[in-house]
Structure 1
Amino acid sequence: MHDDPRTPIAVGDVLAGALAAIGGPDCRAGRPATCRDCGDAALWHRTAHGRWILMQPGSVPHHLVPPGHRYRIGSDGTAVHLGDGAPTDACRVTHFDICPAGPAPRHPYLLRLWQHAAARRGRL
């Protein structure tokens, strides 16, 4: 960084700064959001595939969440889909799995979360 605005800036310095920023945590990772369908609070996180997903705040015991619906949030804010994997303690779920504006999930625990959100929103 140059203190004097009249000092020329080397293109290499600019590119080095830009390249250092690539792959770092995104400023939106973990940013609070409101679901446009139901109005509930959630958090934006980027997936390992570069897509953005709304995650429910907080974690839940992994044994309550069915395989295929379990996520972990990495230290860089990335939402990692665990597939059939089972973490040793807790995991996260997407807002889309329990959004009361969507269809009721079939799994009992996700259904309970969905019903709780629907009742809070007066949709049950």
Structure 2
Amino acid sequence: MASLGAVRPETLPINKSTCKFCALPVQWVRTRDDRPIPMQPGEFPAWAIPVDRRWSFTRDRLHHAPWLDGLEKCRLVHLDVCPARPKPENAVMLELWERLRARAERQNGGIPVEQVLLEEEPEAGATLEP
């Protein structure tokens, strides 16, 4: 069941760009405190994502949403599944990380992500400015 005030992601002010670490697409969205956060495109079942990694849209902003239940969809910060970062421990996030890693390598002519990093690896908990 959707939370009160939920809006469809396609109606939000989203700045599409690419990750400066893996060169894959990201969607920049502002949080309630106006911080830009690079989000992984798409929505994921809340039941499969760790509580502390769930994000949601309400009104016109993005916010951390640990309360989402298993029937709802959530968003992920791209850095949690960026193939330029270490593998995540969560099984669903690991599967996405592996698919993104393969996509990045195909996009880069088969060269492993580690060899084509555009910038140094982001630190844990870092947010990227667009």
- TM normalised by structure 1 equals 0.70
CA distance in 2, matches of 1:68, 1:100: 20
Indicate which of 46, 49, 54 corresponds to 1:65.
49
Indicate which of 64, 68, 71 corresponds to 1:81.
64
Q: Give the drift of 1:58.
A: 1.4
CA RMSD in angstroms, aligned pairs only:
1.7
Matched, 1:91 2:70: no
- TM normalised by structure 2 equals 0.67
Instruction: Report runs of 4+ in structure 1 exceeding 2 Å deviation.
Output: none
Q: Give the drift of 1:49.
A: 2.5
Q: How does 1:1-124 map to 2 (within 5 A)?
A: 29-76=13-60, 78-83=61-66, 85-87=67-69, 88-122=71-105, 123=112
Listed as ranges, the gaps of 5+ residues in structure 2 are 1-11, 106-111, 114-130
CA distance in 2, matches of 1:47, 1:91: 15
CA distance in 2, matches of 1:29, 1:44: 9
Query: Does the residue aligned with 1:116 lie in a helix, a strand or coil?
Result: helix
Higher relative contact order (CA 8 A, sep 6+): 2
Partner of 1:14: none
Letter in 2 for 1:58: G
Letter in 2 for 1:49: D
State the identity as a percent.
33
Listed as ranges, the gaps of 5+ residues in structure 1 are 1-27
Aligned length: 95
CA distance in 1, matches of 2:75, 2:63: 10
Q: Give the drift of 1:75.
A: 2.8
